[in-house]
Amino acid sequence: MKMKRIPIVMDCDPGTDDALAMLMVHGAENIDLRAITTVAGNLNRETTAQNALNIAEYFDIPVPVAKGSYPIMKKFEALDTSIMGAGGLGNAVLPKAQREFSPYNSIELLHQEIQKAPGEIVILATGPLTNVALLLSVYLEDRELIKEIVIMGGAVYHGNHTPRTEFNIYTDAEAAKIVFQSGIPIKMIGTDVTYRTSVTKSDLDSLLAGGKRISRFIGDLMFYPGSEQHPFPEEGIYIWDGLAAAALICPECMEWKHVFVDVETRGLLTYGETVADMNNYLKQPPNVHIAFRCNKDIFIGIIRKTIEKIN
């Protein structure tokens, strides 16, 4: 029997881990990647968009790629270039794509794809939630038509950008608040699961042993921390967006908790925190499934399948 594939749009800010996540969903047999929309986050909107277009062309991902937005209210601050390199793809250098960007911006393209698959479409968001929030503000009717939003973002117990915030949410907390309050089912793959699921050098050596073109690309993405600037971390690296892609491809690989979450947008020290009511003090209906653990073997297995499938 033919497997029913999940129609998705990936909203992202490539970004080394976004790049791997793109390949994972492109290669997954149960995912129907329909479009890639990009947003400012790791880098400015032009660079994230060009990276996405270059990746789509280089790996023959036959979907439109659109340019997106900058944060709605907060001043834009790109990620420190020491983390993903000045171009955002670590040591990977791709030819500039020949194909054009979509004539539509990210919000328009998201809207079009939602209209084509009402009630079925899933958004995989691996960058700041600016585009998704603007979509939900401009095309109010889409709120009823999006099946789920799978987000790489947020932190319940410890952050990766300020003490208790994660970068994507911190970059545009007002946007995140709109999305978390939208009533659309949300899966949140945040630092609570990413910190527990690091990928070591030996994991990568074994995954990339095949010497295929895609293996060299992923190696250039992921071994950037191994360049002379800074040694490959003993504890391994965190492939944040790859875990979000894995959660979409195989939700059973994660352990979830369904709780009420809202986003702080006013605190001096707490701006961008995803405040999760783990003990139901606020008596609000749960709106987010938060991933707290991941079966690492399944995660690594999905990456292995991606490498097997894509040249």
CB closer to ligand RIB, 117 vs 170: 170
Query: From the centroid of its chain, how far is CA 168?
Result: 9
CB closer to ligand RIB, 89 vs 178: 89
Tell the smallest beta-carbon distance from residue 18 to Ca ion (Å): 4
Q: In sequence order, what DSSP letters do the residues of 106-143 get, joined into one string?
A: HHHHHHHHHHHSTTT-EEEE-S-SHHHHHHHHH-GGGG
Instruction: Find the largest Cα–Cα distance for the chain.
Output: 55
For tokens 């996405």, the residue is 52
Give the β-pairing of 31-38 and 6-12. parallel
Tell the smallest beta-carbon distance from residue 71 to Ca ion (Å): 14
Tell the smallest beta-carbon distance from residue 241 to ligand RIB (Å): 5
State the burial class of residue 82 (Cβ atoms within 10 Å of its Cβ: 0-12, 13-18, 19+): exposed
Return residues touching ligand RIB (CB under 6 A): 13, 15, 17-18, 41-42, 79, 126-127, 152, 160, 166-168, 240-241
Return residues touching Ca ion (CB under 5 A): 13, 15, 18, 126-127, 241
CB closer to ligand RIB, 118 vs 163: 163
Q: Which does 167 bind (CB under 5 to 8 A by kind): Ca ion, ligand RIB, none?
A: ligand RIB
Distance CA 81, CA 264 (A): 26
Tell the smallest beta-carbon distance from residue 39 to Ca ion (Å): 9
Q: Which does 48 bind (CB under 5 to 8 A by kind): Ca ion, ligand RIB, none?
A: none
Q: 65 pairs with which residues across the strands? A: 36
CB closer to ligand RIB, 79 vs 298: 79
Q: Which does 166 bind (CB under 5 to 8 A by kind): ligand RIB, Ca ion, none?
A: ligand RIB
Q: Which does 224 bind (CB under 5 to 8 A by kind): Ca ion, ligand RIB, none?
A: none
Tell the smallest beta-carbon distance from residue 41 to ligand RIB (Å): 5
Tell the smallest beta-carbon distance from residue 46 to Ca ion (Å): 16
CB proximity list for 58: less than 8 A, separation 6 or greater: 94, 95, 97, 217
Q: Which amino acid is at 241?
A: D
